[in-house]
Amino acid sequence: MSDGFEFRLVPLDCPTCGAGIQALGEDVVYYCTACRNGYLLDQSDWSLRRIETAFVATAHIQVQEYRPFWLLPAKVDIHQHQAGNGGFTGILSAFFGEEGAFYDGGQGIFAVPAFQTSLESVTRLVRSYTEALPELKEKLGERLLGGCYGRQDAEKLAHYALIATEVDKPKVLLDLKYEIEFGEPRLLGVPFTKKADATMDAVFGIEV
């Protein structure tokens, strides 16, 4: 080809144990089921960087597949906020509490899908899993496919979902100025199940 497009084949042997890693075409996150290590493809030098990975445990649910989420530790600082109409109603309430004082900053962990789905599903998933994270139990690793969003994409989606879940209070939204400082990300394998033509997460039943 003469248009300068460069096609790269990324070798998918696990850098830790040498086993082959399964992946879909656009994936940038991978999980080795042999040694139970997760990786992010570093597109600057095409190397695999290890990422701590956990999986959500479910009881009594038939799990068809696990899909990757990014876990983004975050500190949220509110710079400006219209006072007098209470606390937050969306994702920010997971960081500050519904009636919490927000002037000192809030800390929490965003759970953001690393796979492609609609923005509506992203918003519902981010909200549900960000709020439920402290209570989710973990299990050993499974096959993990479809993670085509890297860390920067996940951070943008976290901002999007944060705003989207506060829009039922437009006044607050207009006057909200905030800043998020993200920490070192991790991966979370979330169980999904299928019913007829629909695929939904196994904990909340949110369709993707």
Question: Where along the sequence are the contacts to Zn ion (CB under 5 A)?
Answer: 14, 16-17, 19, 32, 34-35
Give the residue with the Cβ less far from Zn ion, 36 or 81: 36
Q: 35 or 198, CB closer to Zn ion? A: 35
Query: What is residue 139's three-state secondary structure?
Result: strand
In this structure, which amino acid lies at residue 80? Q
Are 207 and 196 in contact by the 8 Å Cβ rule? The answer is: no
- Residue 32 or 208 with smaller CB distance to Zn ion: 32
Q: How far is the CB of 69 from Zn ion (least distance, A)?
A: 21
Cβ distance to Zn ion smaller for residue 19 or 167: 19
> Residue 30: how many CB atoms within 10 A of its CB?
25
Tell me how far, at minimum, the Cβ of 46 lies from Zn ion, in Å.
Answer: 18
**Residue 11 per-residue DSSP state:** P
Q: Closest approach of Cβ 16 to Zn ion, in Å?
A: 5
DSSP labels, 93-137: HHHH-TT---TT-EEEEEEEE-S---HHHHHHHHHHHHHHGGG--
Minimum gap (Å) between residue 59 Cβ and Zn ion: 28
Report how far apart, in Å, the C-alpha atoms of 181 and of each of 81, 131, 173, 192, 208 are: 18, 19, 19, 30, 28
**Smallest gap from residue 186 Cβ to Zn ion (A):** 17
Which CB sits closer to Zn ion, 13 or 104?
A: 13
